[in-house]
Amino acid sequence: MKILILGGSQEALEAAEYLHGQNYKVTTAMAGATRSPKRPRGKLITGGFGGPDGLSTYLRTNEIDLLIDATHPFAARMSASAVISAEKAKVPLIRITREPFEEREGANWWRVDSKNQAAEIIPSGSTVLLTVGRKGLEPFLTRPDLRFVVRSIEKPQFELPENFSAIQQRPPYETAGELDLMKRESITHLVSKDSGGKQTCAKLEAAFMMRIQVIMISRPPLPPAREVTCLKDLKKALTQFPSPGTRSRFFPWLRNIWAKPES
């Protein structure tokens, strides 16, 4: 069976490792936004496909039997493209969607729908730990009355104003290290995307322990798709998949049982 994984997450690495070990022909596609990413098992391709048409053409041309969307939870455009492309190419799709962060009782997070809303509600004079990545920092540049500590895997793409400082770190993070960072920088507010996952949840534990206000940016809506939340569920879903030679005959059946029900 030929499988294409749309990568960019820890779940993509785990899926490629498992599937390669099961002798599937695995190709992982990565956008190339991060330099020197962890290399998955199997074949690796970088760069985009040119939208849904380009991806669907790739699926047909390379006779892909299964498409796995294991992109970042905030990669909404790529996830939407995957749904359209899979439908056009008549290729079943599984989306690996990690569980969102869990708000502890008494944490009292402020939930917002965008970075713009997050930037607007931070009280003047605050010191903010920004963990939203190196892209999309523009909304926070309008707040010279705040001090920001930007943490990202790679350096921001432009020179930051004087009220910003940057830290380059790669997850996973530990609670002790997060506590040290927040104390050292006198952090009062933490801005985070609700990306979920165990590799970055330590910052939320540290914020709770220090009574630091968390501003959580909600995930973007995604079109319906068959979803699993972990490698264990992916393994179970694969047991329902017929042999590649019968894919075209079974595609309507697969589409019906794998599609996410309309709510």
Rounded to an integer, what distance in angstroms lies between the CA atom of residue 123 and that of residue 64? 51
pLDDT in tens, the chain (263 residues): 999 999 989 999 999 999 999 999 999 999 865 555 678 999 999 988 999 999 999 999 999 999 999 999 999 999 999 999 999 999 999 999 999 999 999 999 999 999 999 999 999 999 999 999 998 899 999 999 999 999 999 999 899 999 999 999 999 999 999 999 999 999 999 999 999 988 899 999 999 999 999 999 999 999 999 999 999 999 999 988 766 555 544 444 344 444 444 43
Q: Residue for token digits 């962060």?
A: 101
User: Which one-letter amino acid corresponds to residue 98?
Assistant: R
Rounded to an integer, what distance in angstroms lies between the CA atom of residue 167 and that of residue 159? 13
DSSP β-bridge partners for residue 6: 29, 69
pLDDT at 251: 47
pLDDT at 191: 98
Rounded to an integer, what distance in angstroms lies between the CA atom of residue 31 and that of residue 8? 8
User: Which one-letter amino acid corresponds to residue 80?
Assistant: A
The answer to whether 87 and 34 are in contact (CB under 8 A) is no
CA of 169: how far to CAs of 5, 13, 133, 152, in Å?
A: 26, 19, 11, 6
237: which 2 tokens?
């879903």
HEC readout, the chain: CEEEEECCCHHHHHHHHHHHHCCCEEEEEECCCCCCCCCCCCEEEECCCCHHHHHHHHHHHCCCCEEEECCCCCCHHHHHHHHHHHHHHCCCEEEECCCCCCCCCCCCCEEECCHHHHHHHCCCCCEEEEECCCCCCHHHHHCCCCEEEEEECCCCCCCCCCCEEEEECCCCCCHHHHHHHHHHCCCCEEEEECCCCCCCCHHHHHHHHCCCEEEEECCCCCCCCEEECCHHHHHHHHCCCCCHHHHHHHHHHHHHHHCCCCC
pLDDT at 33: 58
Domains of the chain: 2-99+221-258 (3.40.50.20), 110-217 (3.40.50.720)
Rounded to an integer, what distance in angstroms lies between the CA atom of residue 129 and that of residue 238? 40
The answer to whether 227 and 40 are in contact (CB under 8 A) is no
